[in-house]
Structure 1
């Protein structure tokens, strides 16, 4: 059993490896190179707390196609097909991620400007009184 565990731990692509990491005085850590490479981390990670644990996950900036179907439907309805459809889809597809990131940044700014828990602002927006 121990031999099997050791082989699993030493396997190059094993996803159950552990390593103790020192936290600097500035609360910084260094991700081990092996982990960095195994996970394909580029320049950004997502960090959150789950079940009293700090989770660090790579952020992959590739567009995951959330709006691909809608984009294609729109382009097809405009009469595009073949190479023209493909080129226009690629052009629009490149603009989706920056647009989503801009919306998120705008929402973050709005949230940071909330006073209290935001209930008063919500009432102002959705109130039927004029």
Structure 2
């Protein structure tokens, strides 16, 4: 579920059938999320905030517990590992996953923010692939 706070001022209770609330923005740039929105999103102590160029979108911060164990084991067995050697190699690879995930997260956060429409962005990507 996505809560969107329009950039322009809104005095209506609903826009296009979606609930809308006017909220104050403090001098510290803080807003209070209306209780019904907060409850509906099942928010906790973190949220994802995205600026689209026209709106601020607030989403629940969902953390997945990603476990690659089965994939790692299948790959190692395919490579011929077994017994103690399999366990040792599995442990070595699995211990590197948190660092790899942190790297991927940092890399993703360094990507430029898309300011144009999704269609324009995808068209630009396709144009770039054609030039390669």
> Taking structure 1 as the reference length, what is the TM-score of the superposition?
0.45
Greater share of helix:
1
Greater share of strand:
2
Higher relative contact order (CA 8 A, sep 6+): 2
